[in-house]
Structure 1
Amino acid sequence: MILPPSEVKDILAQTLSYVKADEAEVSIYAGLREELRFARNMPISCGYADETHIYIMCAFGQQVGYFSTTETNATALENAVRRAEDAAHLAPESPEYMPRLGPQQYLHTPAWDAASTHFSAHDRARIASLAIDGARDTNLTSAGFFENSQGYTGMMNTSGLFAYRCATHAAYSLTMRTSDGMGSGWAAAESFRVAAIDGGTITKRAVEKAIQSQNPTPLEPGAYTVVLEPSAVGDMLNIFRGSLDRRAADEGRSYFSNVGQGTKIGQTLFGDNITIYSDPTHAIVPGWPWGENGLPLHRTSWVEKGTLRNLVVSRYWAQQKNIEPMPHGSNIIMEGQEHTLDDLIAATERGLLVTSLWYIRGVDPQTMLHTGLTRDGVFLIERGKVTRPVVNLRWNESPAAIFKCVEMMSRPERVVTREGNGPILAPALKIKEFHFTSVSPST
């Protein structure tokens, strides 16, 4: 059951009424989550969870303690406050603790879809049956997971701040494998609107990838022109987003550190076709309306036509530098062009088409260098056509480097990444040079 803001405010105010600490903050998350899992062409489990979690922070000066509970009765709430206060008394002082914010104004984020709240177990089974039937018809083996949820979040503190948000969400991931394990296809989608997830399209895509990726042959590692599909670009954007930290730049630990001192804000670092921003009110990838400690989120430009415009600034670091705080964006959006994925392939004389990336690990934060593997379909492109599948490859690459050599983009779309999270809108990219270091035979 989704509680309205007035009832959420009552629960949070009741919790704060028990506080004896100098400051306190209480948050509530409650939601209904339903899921269906299938494997080997048959349903294997379904789940249902109706959960409520309350998180309490209490501070005596700069001694901070936390406690959480899943109960909302008066006795449980008062006990949770006492436990948080006890933890604060035992904690060492936190030199970076910041006083709680007062009342704030928040943008409306369009993350609630009433129709999605009626999506039933029968509806989830119908989507799974499309995949299972598609696998059986093509002699493939399917495995997938569908989850839909609805929930609300509220936050209140002893300085008068109150924030509230409700949202719906649906996500579907499907893998198809050939009987010998030598071909693998993957497709996925997510949205706050369950109607935006097309089970038939996802099935078709996963089946095609599995069949096309059969019997791959090895390719010599090296630098190749690549076409990264939107999911792979989304993982690169996740890496990029994690590097947008002003403190790390000021302290010389980041790609965005200036030589000598300071940051590269205002410098043109990437191609003039690169624009990246966050906007919690975006119609396709709506995000949270607040960030750190309840700081309001607005549209924020990170990179504009290749020029670095902003970096994330925590409240503590803003105080140290006498600048305004800049919270993390709750989504990440990369502008694209009016091309299709097929256009990017057709414009490639020789290169590789990469479906997705995974097992991504950091190597060097000062260059943003990461390493990882390709997954579920890597294909050789010759004279504008996909000619054959190739064996998976290990890559060593940096978003900072590839954003300097993007030659073409597709229209952006909401993506599901293999690692990382958060709403992401990303195009496919044709990149002039992408570095592969070794063959990684895997099934």
Structure 2
Amino acid sequence: MTVERDVASQVVELVARLAGPGPQAEVLVTRAELALTRFANSAIHQNVAETQVEVRLRVHVAGRTAAGSANVTTADGLRALVERVLAAARVGPLDPAWPGLTPATPMADSPQWDTATGYAGPDDRATLVRAFVDAAGGLTTAGYCRTALRATGFANSAGHAVQGYAAEAAMDGIARAGGADGVARQCVDRLADLDGAELGRRAAAKARAAADPVELAPGRYPVVLEPAAVADLLHNLAWYGFNGKRYAERQSFVEPGVAQFDRAVTLVDDPLAGIGLPFDLEGTPARALTLVDAGTTTAVVHDRRSAAEWGVESTGHAWIDSATAGPMPRNLRLVSSGTAGRAPATGGPARGPVAGGVDPLAGAVTDADTAALVSRMERGLLVSDLWYTRVLEPKSLVITGLTRNGVWLVEQGQVTRAVRDLRFTESYPRALGPGAVREVGRRAFRQPDRHDGAWWEAPSLRLAAWNFTGGASG
């Protein structure tokens, strides 16, 4: 079924009829089936779903470029959109940097997507929420489960026309014990692969382990960052570092060809690793792109405009906001390329049995991969999550933010105390720089972004130091 592509082609033909020969036009038609089940106080309080069709048109006429969008596909609605965008182009400024259209290009088929995920109903999501709540063992829970399907058609006046589909499911929830929260989240291609019970158990175990935290003096501490925290690193590296527009404006730390990261770090953007579209929003084929190879920065991402500025080819990273925010990798995964700096084990498992009952601190570590990293840290902090992160200095990517959902002191490879949340100020590239990465976890967990279609695949990381500058209140 190529309904969206057919509509896109119709709009291209309409531009030619109304504007005559010469204009360049590209059209993107997206049908999004988005659904969200929210829960709070351990009960579902909202089910929302929407089906939205958006037609986005960009034209280049007589050296001028204009764009617009509409949420209609009727003949009158499409004609009104074309007339409005052509009128805007006639009075707009000259655009000497116009990169032209994507030529007709062979395209890989869209990956097979799961219909049960794309068209999941509220009962399907409610089953997962119930499993999460039950597994939390009486703790108060909150969060969401979402499903999404995107059907996208693209056509331009250069004769390029393609169709693609993408589906995903995600769950993000917390459990609360007293004033302490524990979190668990996951993003998958198939709703059937979400395990609500496992996520609920993990969140509850972390909440119980985070009870009765102690104050810790600010300073530079070795850390183990769990995947949720590492996802924040990847998001900011993508947005501010490997962004072709920011690189062109000299606002990025990136220096291709330079060993800017520890040799244990490899970063790959791969929109087709999950169920993603086989092309970007300019019709350029999507592909895996290595941005950091064993510590050496190798590339930034481009749309057609930033690529033309540098005399290179687009990497297929145009997205809805790339004209203003710049092209950025939105499916970034951190891959271990070695064990540089790995220290010998210092004390066995992260937490041993406690006489007289179950030690709640054992729940601070909820997977074997993170436990192995913790066991090799002599003294430092285990950090579950980062939030409210804001850039202080873009060029060196110095960021300030807070920990949340659990921080613990580690001594001799064992979790010994829960710690109150801390504020940090840290350069993300420096924290991952040469000699700074002690160990990369073997297993990566896909973390959902705030918007469907973007995700970050992150393992746990053991780092030499992280700069904590105060408590959460200052």
TM-score, scaled to structure 2: 0.84
Does the CA-based 8 Å contact 1:108-1:281 persist in structure 2? no
**SS of residue matched to 2:53:** strand
Distance 1:441 1:419, change over 3 A: farther
Report the Cα distance in structure 1 between the residues aligned to 2:307 and 2:110, rounded to whole angstroms.
26
Match of 2:270 among 264, 268, 279: 279
Confirm or deny that 1:230 pairs with 2:230.
no
CA contact (8 A) 2:6 2:153 kept: no
Q: Give yes or no for the alignment of 1:379 onto 2:375.
A: no
1:201 to 193, 198, 202: 198
* 1:321 Cα deviation from its structure 2 partner: 3.7
Look up the equivalent residue of 2:296 and give its one-letter code: T
Please name the residue that 1:311 is paired with: 300
- Give 1:347 shift: 0.6
The answer to whether structure 1 residue 45 and structure 2 residue 42 are counterparts is no
Report the CA distance shift for 1:413/1:54 in structure 2 as closer, same or farther (over 3 A). Answer: same
Of 414, 427, 438, 1:398 maps to: 427
**Any idea what SS the aligned residue of 1:105 has?**
coil
Which residue pairs with 1:187 in the alignment?
A: 184
Gap change, CA 1:408 and 1:190, over 3 Å in 2: same
Which residue pairs with 2:331 in the alignment? 331
Counterpart of 2:438 (choices 389, 403, 407) is 407
Per-residue deviation, 1:368: 1.6
Matches within 5 A, 1:41-440: 41-110=42-111, 112-117=113-118, 119-135=120-136, 137-138=137-138, 140-178=139-177, 180=178, 182-242=179-239, 243-246=241-244, 248-249=246-247, 252-256=250-254, 264-282=255-273, 285-291=274-280, 293-328=282-317, 329-336=329-336, 340-404=369-433, 405-416=436-447, 422-440=454-472
Q: Is the 8 A contact 1:370 1:398 kept in 2?
A: yes
Q: 1:15 to 1:109 in 2, by over 3 A?
A: closer
Quick one: distance in 1 between partners of 2:185 and 2:79?
43
Provide the rounded CA distance (Å) in 1 between the counterparts of 2:250 and 2:73.
Answer: 46
AA aligned to 1:277 is V
Contact 1:357 1:418 in 2 (8 A): no
Cα separation, 1, equivalents of 2:41 and 2:275: 35
Do 1:169 and 1:193's aligned partners in 2 also have CA atoms closer than 8 Å?
Answer: yes
TM-score, with length taken from structure 1: 0.89
**1:136-189 CA distances to partner (integer Å, 9 max, x unpaired)?**
x43x211121111223011111111112111111111111223x4x21111111
> Aligned pair in 2 of structure 1 residues 396, 150: CA closer, same or farther (>3 Å)?
same
The answer to whether the 8 A contact 2:225-2:382 is kept is yes
Per-residue deviation at 1:109?
4.9
- C-alpha distance in structure 2 between counterparts of 1:129 and 1:425, whole Å: 26
Deviation string 1:258-310 (CA, Å, 9 cap, x unpaired) is xxxxxx3222222211111122332xx34432236222222211111111111
3-state SS, counterpart of residue 232 of structure 1: helix
Q: How big is the shift at 1:127?
A: 1.6
Alpha-carbon deviation of 1:59? 2.5
Give the direction of change, closer, same or farther, for the CA distance of 1:51–1:324 in structure 2 (3 Å limit).
closer
**Structure 1's 370 and 419: CA in aligned 2 closer, same or farther, altered over 3 A?**
farther
Name which of structure 1's ranges 406-415 and 108-117 shifts more when overlaid on structure 2: 108-117
User: Structure 1 residues 441, 208: closer, same or farther in 2, change over 3 A?
Assistant: farther
Counterpart Cα distance in 2 of 1:68 and 1:252 = 31
TM-fit CA distance, 1:352: 0.6
The whole-number CA distance in structure 2 between the counterparts of 1:363 and 1:272 is 27
The answer for the alignment partner of 1:260 in structure 2 is none
Q: Point out the more displaced range, 270-279 or 84-93.
A: 84-93
**Structure 1 stretches lacking a partner, 5+ long:** 257-263
Give the Cα–Cα distance (whole angstroms) in 1 for the partners of residues 245 and 39 of structure 2. 45
Alpha-carbon distance change, 116 to 417 in structure 1, aligned in 2, over 3 angstroms:
closer
- Confirm or deny: 8 A CA contact 2:379 2:411 kept in the other structure: yes
How far 1:406 sits from its partner (Å)?
0.8
* Separation of aligned partners in 2, 1:384 and 1:297: 43
CA 1:239–1:111 in 2, change beyond 3 Å: closer, same or farther? farther
CA change 1:254–1:415 in 2 (3 A) is same
Gaps in structure 2 of 5+ consecutive residues: 318-328, 340-367
Offset at 1:419? 6.3
Return the offset for 1:28. Answer: 0.9
SS of the aligned residue for 1:268 comes to coil
Question: Secondary structure at 2:282's aligned position in 1?
Answer: helix
- Report how far residue 330 of structure 1 moved: 4.5
Distance 2:471 2:199 in 1: 28
The whole-number CA distance in structure 2 between the counterparts of 1:158 and 1:325 is 19
How high is the sequence identity, in percent, across the aligned residues? 29
Cα gap change, 1:45/1:296 in structure 2, threshold over 3 Å: closer, same or farther?
A: same
Contact 1:226 1:434 in 2 (8 A): yes
* Paired residue type of 1:332: L
* Gap change, CA 1:250 and 1:76, over 3 Å in 2: closer
Residues 89 and 101 from structure 1, CA distance in 2 versus in 1: closer, same or farther, beyond 3 angstroms?
same
Of 9, 25, 28, which residue of structure 2 is paired with 1:13? Answer: 9
Q: CA deviation at 1:418?
A: 6.9
**CA distance in 1 between partners of 2:286 and 2:5 (Å):** 21
| Structure 2 counterpart SS, 1:340 | helix
2:186 and 2:447 in contact (8 A); partners too:
yes
**Could you say what the CA RMSD is over the residues aligned between the two structures, in angstroms?**
2.3
Deviates more, 1:424-433 or 1:99-108: 99-108
Superimposed CA distance per residue, residues 331-363 of structure 1 (whole angstroms, 9 cap, x where no aligned partner): 212113798111001111111111111111111
Distance in 2 (alpha carbons) for counterparts of 1:417 and 1:68: 27
Secondary structure of the 2:99 match is coil
Give the residue type in structure 1 aligned to 2:251.
R
> 1: CA distance between counterparts of 2:330 and 2:276?
5
